[in-house]
Amino acid sequence: MDEQRLKKVSKYLSKHLRHQPERIGLTLDRNGWVDVDDLLRAVAAHGFPVSAAELAEVVANNDKQRYSVVDGRIRANQGHSVPVDLDLPPLEPPAHLYHGTVASALPSIRDEGLRPMNRHNVHLSPDRETATRVGARRGRPVVLTVDSGSMRAAGHVFYRSDNGVWLVEHVPPSFIRLP
Ligand code: HQG
């Protein structure tokens, strides 16, 4: 499958496994899983046929490992806006994590800290390079350093998705180093 098709299928999957499953008649279970067969039937029925081989390739070759397949079921590893419980164990974060954003968000981040916005959690990156890529989706990237070690010590709970994205409910401004 070429890069372009890979990306297109991945975007289509993200849309329906994270945000709008009902749009193609899917119901995710409480942990975000759906049968692969049901998914393939649903996408075909809604005018976007994907073969089992293509799906396997997207899951295996996705640049961010966005999906997991276990026992014939598939889910998105992170990024949901629909209510799902990823059932991740709390994890000790490294001393610092990073968040990629853009300058226009800084005044409000300075006031209220980092908020999940439309997702369930604030997404943090383990390194600056990744955070730079995340920020660059919106314009010229600005990378914030988060004092995750101090946050943990203050009682904030961190999780890490199966594809290595760190998740936390909120980052208060006092734990953010602004540029
Ligand atoms: C900003 C992609 C104003 C925040 C990426 C970001 C990531 C605030 C935007 C994953 C704010 C939310 C998530 C505040 C946060 N005031 N703006 N208080 N708090 N923001 O897309 O972190 O490709 O929901 O800086 O790689 O950009 O989808 O979050 O700019 O891992 O797999 O509000 O999405 O992964 O945007 O990206 P998003 P994000 P996928």
- What pTM was computed for the model? 0.92
The one-character DSSP state at 93 is P
> What's the confidence (pLDDT) of residue 84?
96
Under 8 Å between Cβ of 84 and 119: no
> What's the confidence (pLDDT) of residue 179?
79
Residue 123, strand partner residues: 167
Under 8 Å between Cβ of 68 and 74: yes
CA of 179 to the centre of ligand 1 (A): 18
Span 33-44, pLDDT tens digits: 999 999 999 999
What residue's CA is closest to ligand 1, atom 18? Answer: 109
Sheet hosting strand 159-160, strand order edge to edge: 122-124, 166-168, 159-160
The number of residues in the chain equals 179
Query: Is the torsion defined by CA of 154, 92, 64, 120 positive or negative?
Result: negative
Measured at the CA of 63, the angle between CA 59 and CA 65, to 5 degrees, comes to 45
Where does ligand 1 bind, in terms of residues with CB under 6 Å? Answer: 64, 66, 79, 101, 105, 108-109, 112, 114-115, 117-119, 123, 134, 138, 165
Span 58-111, pLDDT tens digits: 999 888 899 999 999 999 999 999 999 999 999 999 999 999 999 999 999 999
Q: ipTM score of the complex? A: 0.96
CA of 105 to the centre of ligand 1 (A): 10
